[in-house]
C-alpha cells in the first residue's frame, strides 16, 4: 500500500452515517434557498440592467451602484449554476438578466473585451481599462449560462473573450498572462503607462507590472470550464500551462501561496493571505476532477489545507483567520503581525475544501470532518444573518464589523452560493448509493 496520503484508497463504508448525511444535505439546501431568495430579485437593477451591488447591513439599497465586472459576472455565474439544480429553477431569469448585461452593456463593441468598471447607467469608468481577473469570471459566467440554457450566443461570447485575452495578454516568453490593459487591449506593464497618473496598483490591487495568484488561479478554473464545452488545441495548451503555473510556481511547500510575481515568475515578498490557499485548493480540485485526479495535484491540495489548518485556524470557535506569515503569528520587534478577522468568503471556501478532504481522507490525522462540522457551526452562529438573511461581512465574534454592508462591489453571493452548492453535490455523489 502506498504511503502517499493523497492517493490512499477510499474506505468501502461511508464516513458519515447516510441518515446524518441526508439531514446535512437538506440543511445545506435550505441555507442555499435562503441565501438566493435574500439576494434575488432584490439585486436586479430593473432600470439600467445588471445587478445592484450596494446594500447596507439592513439590506437597504444605498451607494453609487457601480457596475464592476467581477460583481456582475460572479452574480450571473452563481445564479446560472444554482438555477440548473432541481428545485432552484426560479433563478433562471436572474441568470438571463445578468448574461444580457454582460453581452449588451459591459462588452466593448469597438475593441472587444469587457470594461472593468461602469457607472450605474453603463458609462465606462477608470479610463475604459480592462483586467484579466474580471475577464476570467465573465467568461465563466457565459459558460455557466450556456450550460443552463444551451444558448449558442453565450458560448460564442465566451470563445471570443478567450481569444481576446489570449491575443492581448498572453506572455509568450514566460507563460501566464499580463493582467491590466487599456481599452484597445494594449498591456499596461509599468506605472508610467497607466492612464491614471501616479497609480501604483490597478483596480484589483495588483501592483502595476506584476502578475498575481488571484487572476491566474481564476483563469485556470475558467479555462478548464471552457475546455469541457469547447475543447481546442490552443485552449488545451493554455490549460496545461496554467495548471503548472498555479500548482508548481504559485503554490510552494509546505502548502503556501505566493501572491505577486515579476513577469518571469520570480516571487515578490508580500503578506500571506490565507484565504487564497483555500480558494486555490478548491480551484485545483475542480481542475483535477475535470482532467483526471493525478497524485501530485491531490498532494498539493492537501498540503495547502493542512498548512492553513495548522497556522490560521481558530481552535476555539472555528474558522480561518485572514492573514499573517506563512507560519501564523509572527513578531517584528514588539509588534505582533497577524490579522485575526474571519471574513465571510474564506469560511465559505473552507467549507467545501474541508468536506471534500473529509470524504477523500476519512481516517487522516487532520480530522477534516471535525473541522468541517466546527466551521459549519461557526458559519451558522456568527456569519448567517438569522433576521435579515444573507451572510455578514465578518463573523459576529468581531463586533466592530456588525454594521458592515451586506453587499458591495466586492461582496456578492458567489463564494457562499458555490460552496453550499458544491457541498450538496459532494454529499449527493458520496451517499447516493450508500
Averaged pLDDT, 414-425: 98
Q: Within a 10 A sphere around the Cβ of 334, how many other Cβ atoms?
A: 5
What one-character-per-residue DSSP string does 39-100 give? HTTTTB-TTTSSB---B-TT--B-S---EEHHHHHHHHHHHHHHHTSTT-GGGHHHHHHHHH
Please check the confidence at residue 284 and state whether its pLDDT lies above 60.
Answer: yes
pLDDT of residue 7 exceeding 50, the answer is no
Average pLDDT over residues 129-136: 98
Residue 207 has which C-alpha cell?
Answer: 501592483
pLDDT above 90: residue 402: no
| pLDDT tens, position by position, 344-353 | 999 999 999 9
- pLDDT at residue 36 in the model: 98
Report residue 263 as a C-alpha cell.
513577469
376-382 mean pLDDT: 97
Q: Render the burial of 157-175: b for 16+ CB within 10 Å, e for the rest.
A: bbbebbebbeebbeeeeeb
Write out pLDDT tens, residues 68-118: 999 999 999 999 999 999 999 999 999 999 999 999 999 999 999 999 999
| The model's pTM | 0.94
Please report which confidence band the pLDDT of residue 430 belongs to, taking 50, 70 and 90 as the band edges.
confident
pLDDT the model gives residue 240:
95
* Mean predicted confidence (pLDDT) in 355-375: 96
Residue 6 has pLDDT above 50, yes or no: no
Q: Residue 69: name the closest of 130, 117, 126 by CA.
A: 117
Q: Which three cell numbers stand for residue 153?
A: 450566443
List the domains of the chain with CATH numbers. 15-431 (1.50.10.10)
Give per-residue pLDDT as tens, 15-56.
Answer: 788 999 999 999 999 999 999 999 999 999 999 999 999 999
Question: Mean of the per-residue pLDDT values for the chain?
Answer: 94
Cα separation, 114 vs 106, in Å, equals 5
Amino acid at each position: 500500500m502506498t504511503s502517499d496520503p493523497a492517493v490512499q484508497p477510499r474506505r468501502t463504508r461511508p464516513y458519515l452515517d447516510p441518515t446524518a448525511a441526508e439531514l446535512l444535505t437538506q440543511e445545506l439546501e435550505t441555507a442555499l434557498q435562503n441565501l438566493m431568495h435574500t439576494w434575488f430579485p432584490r439585486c436586479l437593477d430593473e432600470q439600467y440592467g445588471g445587478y445592484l451591488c450596494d446594500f447596507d447591513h439592513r439590506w437597504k439599497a444605498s451607494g453609487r451602484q457601480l457596475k464592476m465586472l467581477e460583481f456582475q459576472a460572479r452574480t450571473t455565474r452563481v445564479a446560472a449554476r444554482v438555477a440548473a439544480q432541481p428545485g432552484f429553477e426560479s433563478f433562471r431569469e436572474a441568470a438571463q438578466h445578468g448574461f444580457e448585461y454582460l453581452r449588451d452593456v459591459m462588452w466593448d463593441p469597438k475593441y472587444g473585451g469587457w470594461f472593468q468598471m461602469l457607472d450605474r447607467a453603463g458609462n465606462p469608468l477608470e479610463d475604459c481599462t480592462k483586467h484579466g481577473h474580471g475577464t476570467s469570471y465573465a467568461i465563466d459566467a457565459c459558460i455557466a449560462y450556456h450550460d443552463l440554457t444551451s444558448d449558442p450566443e453565450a458560448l460564442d461570447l465566451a470563445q471570443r473573450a478567450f481569444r481576446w485575452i489570449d491575443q492581448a495578454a498572453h506572455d509568450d516568453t514566460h507563460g501566464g498572462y499580463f493582467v491590466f490593459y487599456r481599452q484597445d487591449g494594449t498591456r499596461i506593464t509599468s506605472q508610467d503607462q497607466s492612464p491614471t497618473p501616479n497609480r501604483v496598483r490597478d483596480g484589483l490591487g495588483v501592483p502595476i507590472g506584476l502578475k498575481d495568484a488571484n487572476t491566474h488561479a481564476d483563469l485556470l478554473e475558467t479555462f478548464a470550464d471552457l475546455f469541457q464545452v469547447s475543447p481546442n488545441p490552443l485552449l488545451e495548451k493554455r490549460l496545461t500551462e496554467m495548471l503548472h503555473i498555479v500548482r508548481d510556481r504559485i503554490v510552494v511547500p509546505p502548502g503556501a501561496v505566493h501572491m505577486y510575481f515579476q513577469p518571469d515568475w520570480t516571487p515578490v515578498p508580500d503578506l500571506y493571505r490565507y484565504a487564497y490557499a483555500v480558494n486555490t485548493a478548491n480551484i485545483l480540485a475542480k481542475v483535477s476532477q475535470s482532467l483526471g485526479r493525478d497524485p501530485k495535484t491531490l498532494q498539493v491540495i492537501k498540503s495547502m489545507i493542512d498548512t492553513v489548518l495548522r497556522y490560521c485556524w481558530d481552535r476555539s470557535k472555528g474558522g480561518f483567520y485572514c492573514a499573517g506569515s506563512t507560519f501564523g503569528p509572527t513578531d517584528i520587534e514588539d509588534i505582533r503581525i497577524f490579522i485575526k478577522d474571519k471574513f465571510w468568503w474564506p469560511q465559505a471556501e473552507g467549507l467545501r475544501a474541508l468536506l471534500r478532504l473529509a470524504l477523500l481522507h476519512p481516517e487522516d490525522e487532520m480530522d477534516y470532518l471535525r473541522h468541517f462540522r466546527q466551521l459549519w457551526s461557526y458559519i451558522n452562529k456568527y456569519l448567517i444573518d438569522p433576521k435579515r438573511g444573507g451572510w455578514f461581512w465578518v463573523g459576529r465574534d468581531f463586533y466592530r464589523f456588525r454594521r458592515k454592508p451586506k453587499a458591495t462591489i466586492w461582496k456578492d453571493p458567489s463564494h457562499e452560493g458555490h460552496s453550499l452548492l458544491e457541498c450538496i453535490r459532494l454529499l449527493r455523489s458520496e451517499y447516493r448509493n450508500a
